[in-house]
Amino acid sequence: MISVLKIPFDACIVEKERRGAAKGPDAVISELKLPEAAKILEVKEQNDFEKLSKDIEKVATEEHKKKNFVIGLGGDHSVSYGLMKAFAKTHKNAGLIYFDAHLDCDPDFLPPTHEGILRAVSKENLFKQIMVIGARNYTQEEAKFSKDEHIFDFIGIYDKPTSQCIMSYIPDIFGSADDAGDKITDELYLSIDIDVFDPEFAPGTGYPEKNGYKPDEILYVIKELIKTGKVKGADIVEVSPPKDVNNMTSKLAARLLLEFLNINA
């Protein structure tokens, strides 16, 4: 069973003029027909982020315990916090792959905003290994934190690694079935900020960044990851319909969602 958790929340985006992601879940779902094997749930808290996170964690944990594949639809990236806590609670040997134009490691946002979620997740040791794909706008402090202090390998795209090249890094970071050692992860969570894509293909987001990936490049990586059988949870966030052009971004997010809906098809 696939559990689609709608989270129409964007209050953690400080600049109000950049908001709009609260309208993302309905816009994405309207672009495709959900299979009968999928059920839709919703967390509706609009203002209190701490309450929202607890509500998300509770609902997602219950669904994971039923062995359902949970995919969250945001909302801004802060909604992933509760989803990731639920996943880590129910998947003890988990890894995270974080698709984002930003590192989201701004210091000491507690509770974390969409700009500090990955720092919080790292400090709480929710995942055994973390990999970031597509980061191209970050501070030196964020880079230092990510490389030297806590986590994780991240792949910027100024050197434009191909999809095949990205996939070649996966065994080194997360281990493979034949490896021995601390890096092996049994299950993966994918968190996809739509701004990992170039604004040419995904203009409808609060913080678009040039030089992003093309849709087919990221879709290839996601499909290959799903083929491993290790992907057990995901989220798609930061789709902002008020900023979209001809529903391009909502349609792209729907393509991503369809990949996960087909896992149990």
Q: Do 73 and 235 form a contact (C-beta atoms < 8 A)?
A: yes
pLDDT of 208 reads 94
Q: Do 86 and 57 form a contact (C-beta atoms < 8 A)?
A: yes
pLDDT of 232 reads 95
pLDDT higher for 176 or 88? 88
Q: Among 62-71, 156-165, 199-208, where is mean pLDDT lowest?
A: 156-165
The full set of domains in the chain, from first to last, is 2-261 (3.40.800.10)
pLDDT of 213 reads 93
Q: Is the pLDDT of residue 43 over 90?
A: yes
pLDDT higher for 131 or 71? 71
Average pLDDT over residues 190-207: 97
Q: What is the side-by-side strand order in the sheet with 38-42?
A: 38-42, 2-7, 69-74, 231-237, 187-193, 94-99, 129-135, 153-156
> How does residue 104 score in pLDDT terms, banded at 50, 70 and 90?
confident
- Dmax over CA atoms of the chain, in Å, equals 49
DSSP 8-state code for residue 146: I
Global pTM value: 0.91
> How does residue 245 score in pLDDT terms, banded at 50, 70 and 90?
very high
Average pLDDT over residues 98-105: 91
Q: Do 7 and 114 form a contact (C-beta atoms < 8 A)?
A: no
> How does residue 128 score in pLDDT terms, banded at 50, 70 and 90?
confident
> How does residue 73 score in pLDDT terms, banded at 50, 70 and 90?
very high
Average pLDDT over residues 8-26: 92
pLDDT of 171 reads 74
Paired strand residues for 137: 102
Mean pLDDT computed over every residue of the chain: 87
pLDDT of 32 reads 92
> How does residue 161 score in pLDDT terms, banded at 50, 70 and 90?
confident
Sign of CA dihedral 206, 209, 214, 220: negative
Q: Is the pLDDT of residue 47 over 90?
A: no
Q: Is the pLDDT of residue 91 over 70?
A: yes
Q: How far apart are CA 31 and CA 18, in angstroms?
A: 23
Which of 73, 64, 50 has its CA nearest to residue 256? 73
Q: Do 199 and 155 form a contact (C-beta atoms < 8 A)?
A: no
